[in-house]
Each structure stands twice: as C-alpha cells, then as structure tokens.
Structure 1
Amino acid sequence: MSDFRNAVTSMPARERLAKAPHGAKVVIHATAAETNGAFGMWETFTPPGKGPAPHTHTRETEVFRVIRGIYHFQCGDEEFDAPPGAVVVLPPHVRHSWRNIGDEPGQMFAIVTPGGFEQLFMEIEASGADAPDEIALIEARLGIINDETLAINR
C-alpha cells in the first residue's frame, strides 16, 4: 500500500463539490492524488429514490457509512436495507447498486481503496457530462462497468 506524508484536509465552506452520475451532490474530501493512491474519500447527498445504476468496479473496494436516510443495497445476490449508522463494504468485481429509499435526502460517507474512483465525480462536474454515453466514457476509463452503459452500447 502506498503511503503519503502530508495531512489531507477538507474544511467547511471550502469543500470541493462534484456530481454523481445519478445527479446527486458529492463533496470530495480526499483524492488518490493527495494520498499517493491509497484511498479516495467523499460524501454523497442523495435525493429520495435516487442512486447509481447497477455497476461493477474492476479496481477498488468501496466502504459506505450511512449518515442520514435509509439506503437499499444490492451486492451480487444479496439485498438489504442500511439505516443511519450502518457500514457497508462492497467488494471489487461484484455487481452492486444502492438507492435512497427514504422520503428525505440521504447522506453517506464513502471511502474507496485504492483511490482513483472519486475522479469520476470530479470529471462529471468539470466536464458537465450528463448524457449516459458521456458518463460511460469516464466510467470506462476508470474501470467501471455500468449496466446502463452496456445496454446503450449494444
């Protein structure tokens, strides 16, 4: 595992804002570039009924902690609901998805290891990508296999 030697900080009112493929606001706290590849860290603020399409990471493990709301997760053949306080670890190479099933906006804190996937949110925000084929190009470069993308490209 790579190490890094400088503190990484994310201060209130100076957060880096980004956007998830499903339109949710994302706040980036740490990037692979800042942690010498060790991890990326962010928070996602998910409107009711929203979440990513089923997808598979080919590089990283994701860790989520539910802060607000109730999220429904699918990981391979497993399905479960995660209330505030729940921690969910999703392995690489296993198809998964999640969505906010509550009536209020949800919030999750996330870490990915190794880092790099957080770049997706930053690139969507910077490029203004909102069409599935635009997002698919970014995902493919980052090793993400998205079910919606597969359907579009068939």
Structure 2
Amino acid sequence: MQVFSLVFGASAEARLDLATEENGQLRIALSAEQRKIFGMLSAEEARDIDKSRKGVLCYQLPDSGISYWQAEPSAGWVEVKLSPFTQNVHHYALLMQTLFPGHNVREHAHNQLNEFFIITKGIARAALDGVEALCPKGTVIVIGRNVWHWWGNAGKENAQNFAVIDPPGVEGALALTGRLRVHGEAWPDNIVRNPETGRILHERYGFLIRQGSADAPA
C-alpha cells in the first residue's frame, strides 16, 4: 500500500531560527505566546476543542467527486475532489485529471498559483520550461508560478494525475470550460472545445498562454 501525504502551511519545525542544539540534535521549545502565533494546541487543548474550530474532514471513493468532460486535445475528464465550491476550504484545491491515450494538456503557465502533480495511473510525459521527461506512476511534479508546462498520456491506457492547486483556481477553470459528466457514461464524442477557452483561462484564472498557440486569446 502507498499513501500520499501533503502538509499545508509553514509549521514550527521549519523555523530553525527558533531552534537550540542539545547533544547534536536541534530542538524547538516554544513559549505559550509562540504556540498561539503558530496556532498550535497542547494535547489537552486539542482534546477539548469545539467542533466549530475544526477543519474539513472528508474522504471520497474513486470516481465519486463532481466531474467534467474535457474537449480535445485534452480529451478525458477532470474530477474535482475538494475546492471552495464543494467544501469549506479556501487555500487549496484537489482534483484528478484523466487523459485518454494520445491526448495532452496544451502548454501554459499560471501567474496566480502553484501546482503539484502525482501521476497515479498509467504513463505520462511532461515538460517544465521545455525540459521533457517520461513520468511513470508515482512521479511527483512540482510546478511553480510562471513555469511553462504541459503533460500528456504517453501510454496505451488512460493516464491520471492527482493535482494539488495552491491557491485554488485550475479546478474552477476546468469546470467552467468543460461539460458536466455523469459517472459511468461513455465518452461523448460531440464535445467541441469552446472557442473562448483561452480568453476565459487568461482573463479569469490567470493562465499564461503563448501568442500564436491554439488557445491564445485574440
């Protein structure tokens, strides 16, 4: 079994300026005021915390989130696992994108967010600022702001990535430019790519699209 664990927000362990060395080991001892600044609770405080102060706790089985068909060349679908329009979360979003064999997401960049990909099914190929690599299942891809990137299915079966969006944005864009998908339905081959896709992605969601490319806004 393999489990992916993602931690959001800076933790006290990252503050090496607060650490002291004891017997060759770094140790961080925080005062009550420092713990309050970091939002840290003692074991007793955590045990007695009111439910209204707890964050979102949820789990989803495969193919159970709201999903949207995507037109060619990125033929496949996107499943939104967690986003501001599905749960009470506001600083990140989770989605899974599935591409059919031979299809890809066109090159673009983001000036408002970061993306973290984990290839969870199939074999993908991806490029960051023009450098390509084959990405088998389990590959982690970190995409910072303004980094040009694309990814595609390099295999003979569906390829899938699990994406963390920080802050949210991509999931809303794909929902807006896609078509609502009913779980279990066959691929509707009459999906036509919205001619306004490039403008929507650029103006509303901060996508960067190269001039002269198919989705470049006029």
Q: Calculate the TM-score normalised by the size of structure 2.
A: 0.61
The residue identity in structure 2 corresponding to 1:143 is: G
Q: What is the SS of the residue equivalent to 2:105?
A: coil
Q: Calculate the TM-score normalised by the size of structure 1.
A: 0.83
From 207, 212, 216, the equivalent of 1:144 is: 207
* Contact preservation (8 Å) 2:117, 2:162: yes
The residue identity in structure 1 corresponding to 2:201 is: E
2:121 counterpart of 1:68: yes
Cα distance in 2 between the residues matched to 1:89 and 1:50: 21
Identity among equivalent positions (%) equals 21
* Partner in structure 2 of residue 10 of structure 1: 60
Aligned residue-pair number:
151
Q: Which runs of 5+ in 1 are unaligned?
A: none
Q: Which runs of 5+ in 2 are unaligned?
A: 1-8, 10-53, 181-190
Work out which structure has the larger RCO, using CA pairs closer than 8 Å and 6 or more positions apart in sequence: 1
Q: How does 1:1-154 map to 2 (within 5 A)?
A: 5-11=55-61, 14-20=64-70, 22-33=74-85, 34-125=87-178, 130-140=192-202, 141-147=204-210, 148-150=214-216, 153=218
Say which is worse superposed, 31-40 or 93-102, in terms of deviation: 31-40
* Contact preservation (8 Å) 2:56, 2:89: no
1:135, CA displacement in angstroms? 1.3
Q: Which of 1 and 2 has greater Rg?
A: 2
CA deviation vs aligned residue, 1:58-101 (integer Å, no higher than 9, x gap): 11111111111111111113211110111111111011101111
